[in-house]
Every structure is written in structure tokens, then in C-alpha cells.
Amino acid sequence: MPEPPPGPGVAPPFAAPPTEGGRARLWLGLGVGALAVLLCCGGGGAAIVGLAVSNVQAIQEQGRTVTNNYYRALVARNWSKAYDQLCADARRRESRPEFEQRVATEPQITGYRVGDVDTQTLTVPVDVTLAGGRREAQTVTLAPDQQTGAVEVCGVR
């Protein structure tokens, strides 16, 4: 039969678990974990918002640029360059020679001012000055190119 263990003051064969501060460490650990989750989710949410904002800004910039290039070509009477700004659907509706003949017979555009792109409808208002000083409000409809993703002019009314 084994001998009974020695009396008080003798080290036990294993360390006893700590008893004080157990709850404090638990709450500290839970707090740090919650903070980590919050930072990860908050950072992801901020990234999504940032991407959405930069996408809207990119569409506005591309829309204004392609509209400006289209009207600059019309003012310069460079019909071919204006035709190059059109989307594939507009090119299917009207060939290059048909487009050039049509715009050559329309009143000459001598100036223009491009407005802000409406990112919901992909339209751009343009104030146009025609030869003789007459002014006209036009609306350019934009469409993204399916292959390149670039924005193109798809119609003017």
C-alpha cells in the first residue's frame, strides 16, 4: 500500500489552476476578439464603400471625356473621329458614310458645354451653340462597351 502524502507545505505533484482574475481575463479576451471582428468587418465595409465611390467617379470621368471628345470632333468637323466615339449599337444602326453624310448636313456646332453625368441613367446634358448663335440643349446617352468596359456615346437627342 502506498504511503500517505506528506503534510502541509509540500508541493503538490501538479500546479493548481489560478483562481483569481479568471473572469477579468475572460472579458479581456472576449473584448479583444470583438474588436478584431469589428475591425475586419468595418474595414471590409469601408473597402466596399470606397470601391463604390471610385466606380461612380470613374464612370463620371469617362462619360464626360467621351462626350467631350465626341463634341470636339463635331466642332472640328472631323466626322470620322466623332463616329469612333459611338457604341457598337449606334454603329450597327448607321454606317460611317451614313453618319458622316447626316452630321455634315445638320447645323454646324460651334461650341458646347458638357454637364454632369447621371450615373443612374448614363446620360449627359450638353448645352450646344450652333452656327448663327442659336443654343440648344442636347442629351447624350452613354453605354459601356461589353468588351473593354469603356463608356461610349450611344445616342444624342
H/E element holding 143?
strand 135-144
The CA-based angle 139-141-142, given to 5 degrees, is 140
The C-alpha cell of 90 is what?
449606334
Tens digit of pLDDT at every position of the chain (157 positions): 777 666 666 666 666 666 666 677 778 888 888 888 877 777 777 667 666 666 778 889 999 999 999 999 999 999 999 999 999 999 999 999 999 999 999 999 999 999 999 989 999 999 999 998 999 999 999 998 888 888 999 999 8
The predicted structure's pLDDT at residue 154: 93
Half-sphere exposure of 36 (CA within 13 A, CB side): 6
Global confidence as pTM: 0.69
40-60 as b/e, with b when 16 or more CB fall inside 10 Å?
Answer: eeeeeeeeeeeeeeeeeeebb
